[in-house]
């Protein structure tokens, strides 16, 4: 009788351990899946922010005309080029657009002369939006990559066939705010 009880206890213990391991692995796999979904949502937000900044740059280039306008239009066209495998634009082209936008917004006299001063808040907002979206995206990528480096994830191949997400590094320093444009004197 003692041997039968011992055998039952061993079998029940083994089943309990297998169940606990299965639950833990299921939890890790679902956590990893949620992290990948977070990367996808962050990538979509970054893509939207980049598109919004590009549209604002095009509007600003049309209003500016001249040297700054042509440079800004060329940088926006390059940034709108073919997307990479992650659906985001090229890092070099997006960085060039950031620099062109900073140069264009650094000349308040040209903005006033072109009547483009009203686009300044939209351009600054779009540039800040890109910066924030990139920070959120890179944080999500960092968390996902850290989770995928785990021995348990690698041993049991919990990431499946999902590709390892890549960071998106661009020069996204927002433009400095020029001196406020004074309102015309109507008195």
pLDDT digits (tens, 9 = 90+) for 34-46: 999 999 999 999 9
Burial of residue 89, with CB atoms counted within 10 A of its CB: 0-12 exposed, 13-18 middle, 19 or more buried:
buried
pLDDT digits (tens, 9 = 90+) for 50-100: 999 999 999 999 988 878 889 999 999 998 887 766 667 789 999 999 999
Nearest to 36 by CA among 82, 84, 83, 86: 86
**Least confident among 34-43, 70-79, 111-120, 177-186:** 177-186
Q: Is the pLDDT of residue 177 over 90?
A: no
Burial profile 124-153: b = 16 or more Cβ within 10 angstroms, e = fewer: bebbebbbebbebbbebbeebeebbeeeeb
For 115, other C-beta atoms within 10 Å of its C-beta total: 10
In whole angstroms, what is the distance from residue 107 CA to residue 116 CA?
11
Q: Is the pLDDT of residue 179 over 80?
A: no
In angstroms, what is the C-alpha Rg of the chain?
26
Average pLDDT estimate for 165-169: 95
Percentages helix, strand, coil for the chain, rounded to the nearest 5? 75, 0, 25
| Whole-Å CA distances, 54 to 49, 51, 109, 118, 123 | 9, 5, 23, 17, 9
Average pLDDT estimate for 159-183: 79
Average pLDDT estimate for 110-129: 85
Band of the pLDDT at 184, cuts 50, 70, 90?
A: low
């Amino acid at each position: 009788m003692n041997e039968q009880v011992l055998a039952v206890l061993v079998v029940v213990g083994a089943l309990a351990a297998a169940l606990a391991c299965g639950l833990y692995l299921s939890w890790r796999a679902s956590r990893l899946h949620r992290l990948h979904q977070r990367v996808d949502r962050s990538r979509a937000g970054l893509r939207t922010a980049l598109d919004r900044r590009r549209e604002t740059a095009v509007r600003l280039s049309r209003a500016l005309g001249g040297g700054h306008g042509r440079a800004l239009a060329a940088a926006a066209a390059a940034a709108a080029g073919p997307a990479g495998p992650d659906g985001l634009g090229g890092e070099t082209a997006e960085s060039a657009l950031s620099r062109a936008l900073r140069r264009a917004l650094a000349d308040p006299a040209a903005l006033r002369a072109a009547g483009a001063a009203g686009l300044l808040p939209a351009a600054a907002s779009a540039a800040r939006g890109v910066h924030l979206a990139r920070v959120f995206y890179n944080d999500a990528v960092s968390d996902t990559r850290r989770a995928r480096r785990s021995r348990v994830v690698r041993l049991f191949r919990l990431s499946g066939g999902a590709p390892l997400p890549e960071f998106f590094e661009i020069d996204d320093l927002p433009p400095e705010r020029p001196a406020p444009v004074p309102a015309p004197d109507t008195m």
